């Protein structure tokens, strides 16, 4: 949720494109996208499947490299940073929630949540992980493995993992896409709670208009371009 006063950008993309070459063909996924995201903002990235939503989130979070343009995060140009330096930066500043959960099958729920904090050598990793799992109603699932959990439980574990390091930005890629409506509401409510309480910037890809209507601002992607309302490339809220 944006606070009153002039917004401070925490992330920006400048003329970012992503394309692939297959023999003589060039396949464009994103085309010269520019946008700025304010600190504490809830930004919804809307679009149909194949519009470029996941690619945009991957580029903004440093999980992938743009073909051209640059990404600035918290004042740092991450575009050409080598992976061995970028990985700890991502772990410290970002949290990730994916549609397909992406938990580590060989780790328990507790170990999955602890994992990002253990990478940072946080001595409170276990205590914080237990506290987070208890908060989302999973204290009875500490020692269960992913295959023993329901879809809603898997996504609650993923949210706990995403927030354990107090990230500045949470990227959520269709976080309710594999869930029924009841579990989808629970997951959305949890993400919004953490967003509000810790003033975390939330960037969520969705094709669900009811979800994007809750955001401070919406950008719409179509065929790799920001489409429609040009408010999508400003730092001001729609509402």
- At 135 the pLDDT is 95
> Half-sphere exposure of 67 toward its Cβ, with a 13 Å CA cutoff?
14
In angstroms, the first-to-last Cα distance of the chain is 11
Q: Is residue 4 part of a domain?
A: no
Q: Is 103 part of a structural domain of the chain?
A: yes
- Among positive and negative, which fits the CA dihedral 161, 176, 34, 236? negative
The DSSP-derived string for 109-162 is: HHHHHHHHHHHTT-TTHHHHHHHHHHHTT-GGGTT--GGGS-HHHHHHHHHHHH
Structural domain includes residue 129: yes
The pLDDT-based confidence of 1 (bands split at 50, 70, 90) is low
Q: What is the pLDDT of residue 4?
A: 63
- Give the CA distances from residue 92 to residues 16, 72, 111, 225, 229, in Å, rounded to whole numbers and listed in that order: 24, 16, 18, 30, 33
pLDDT digits (tens, 9 = 90+) for 24-44: 888 889 999 999 999 999 999
Query: Can you tell me the mean pLDDT for 53-75?
Result: 95
Distance (Å, rounded) from C-alpha 234 to C-alpha 184?
29
Q: How many helices (H) and strands (E) does the chain have?
A: 7, 10
Domain membership of residue 181 (yes or no) is yes
Give me the helix-helix angle, 125-135 and 151-163, nearest 10°: 140
Across 24-28, 53-57, 130-134, 199-203, least confident range: 24-28
Residue 234 has pLDDT above 60, yes or no: no
User: How far apart, in whole angstroms, are the C-alpha atoms of residue 132 and residue 128?
Assistant: 6
Q: What are the strands, taking DSSP E only, across 67-117?
A: 68-73, 76-77, 94-98
21 confidence band (pLDDT: 50, 70, 90): confident
Residue 165 tokens, joined: 């390091």
Please indicate, yes or no, if residue 1 is contained in any of the structural domains.
no
Task: Give the count of domains, the chain.
Answer: 1
Q: pTM of the prediction?
A: 0.90
Q: Is the pLDDT of residue 97 over 80?
A: yes
The predicted pLDDT at position 236 comes to 32
Instruction: With respect to residue 2, please indicate whether it lies within any of the assigned structural domains.
Output: no
Give the whole-angstrom CA distance, residue 80 versus residue 70: 8
Q: Is residue 238 part of a domain?
A: no
Domain boundaries, position 200: 9-233
Place of tokens 């992980």: 129
> Looking at the domain assignment, is residue 18 inside a domain?
yes
Residue 71, domain CATH: 3.40.50.300
59 in helix, strand or coil?
helix
User: pLDDT-derived band of residue 96, with 50, 70 and 90 as boundaries?
Assistant: very high
């Amino acid at each position: 949720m944006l606070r009153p006063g002039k917004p401070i950008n925490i992330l920006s993309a400048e003329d970012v494109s992503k394309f692939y070459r297959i023999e003589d063909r060039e396949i464009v996924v994103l085309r010269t996208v520019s946008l700025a995201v304010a600190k504490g903002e809830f930004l919804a990235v809307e679009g149909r499947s194949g519009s470029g939503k996941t690619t945009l989130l991957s580029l903004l979070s440093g999980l992938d490299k743009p073909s051209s343009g640059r990404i600035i995060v918290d004042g740092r140009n991450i575009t050409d940073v080598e992976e061995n330096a970028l990985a700890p930066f991502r772990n410290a500043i970002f949290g990730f929630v994916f549609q397909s959960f992406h938990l580590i099958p060989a780790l328990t729920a507790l170990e999955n949540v602890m994992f990002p904090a253990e990478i940072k050598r946080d001595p409170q990793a276990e205590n914080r992980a237990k506290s987070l799992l208890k908060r989302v109603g999973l204290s009875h699932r500490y020692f269960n493995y992913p295959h023993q959990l329901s879809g809603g439980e898997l996504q609650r574990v993923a949210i706990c993992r995403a927030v354990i390091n107090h990230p500045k930005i949470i990227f959520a890629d269709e976080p309710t896409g594999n869930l029924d409506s009841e579990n989808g509401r629970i997951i959305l409510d949890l993400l919004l709670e953490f967003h509000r309480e810790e003033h975390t910037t939330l960037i969520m890809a969705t094709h669900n208009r009811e979800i994007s209507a809750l955001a401070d601002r919406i950008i719409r992607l179509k065929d790799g371009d920001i489409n429609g309302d040009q408010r999508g490339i400003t730092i001001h809220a729609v509402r």
